[in-house]
Amino acid sequence: MSRLFSAPPARADARPALLAVISLLLIVLPLLLASGERVGLSGLPLSVPADGALAPLPHPGPVQALVIQQRPDGFVIEAEVRATDLRAGSAPATQHREAAADLPALQAALLRLKAIDPARTQAEVQPLPDTRTDALVQLLDAVGSADGRPLFPDRVLRGARP
């Protein structure tokens, strides 16, 4: 006996075929990449920002990073300086640390760094948690200019690192 209304034909499920194609690609793609022509890659350092902050754009000059930390006995300047020699290529930056007992010594050290990289305008300042406001303003002014000459006018104020 024939039915008057028959059920529409069921559509074929495409998921098994899609799974087969993906499985094949997962097997074949690494084989193709491994057997292909070798290309020399160089590793470049990548810094990842913490706490959801935006990553700073790399500075093209020799001084890659400049951090001024206030300590109870004075200041510590940490700078990452890249070699400017053409033979250095993509050599990693070297870490330089210098201590300064007071603001004039701090400005003298910052003037030496400014002579290495005149285009750099940004410096990170990390004051002590109990620094008074007037002392913080004096520190930021000392980092910004010395003897009427601009040093690092773009100052980033951050809390001290643990």
Between CA 145 and CA 123 the distance in angstroms is: 12
- % of the chain at pLDDT higher than 70: 73
Is 147 a residue whose pLDDT tops 60?
yes
What is the DSSP code (8-state) at residue 60? S
Model pLDDT for residues 61-108, shown as the tens digit of each residue:
788 889 999 999 999 999 988 876 555 556 677 888 999 999 999 999
Give the domain ranges of the chain: 63-157
Mean per-residue pLDDT, 1-29: 80
DSSP state of 86: G
Residue 153, pLDDT > 70, answer: yes
Q: How many CB atoms lie within 10 A of CB 125?
A: 21
Q: Position of tokens 């290529």?
A: 89
Residue 139 burial by Cβ neighbours in a 10 Å radius (0-12, 13-18, 19+): buried
Give the type of residue at 79.
Answer: A
Q: pLDDT class for 53, splitting at 50, 70, 90?
A: low
Binned at pLDDT 50, 70 and 90, residue 162 comes out as low
User: Which amino acid is it at 126?
Assistant: Q
Instruction: Give the fold, CATH level 3, of 63-157.
Output: Nucleotidyltransferase; domain 5 (3.30.420)
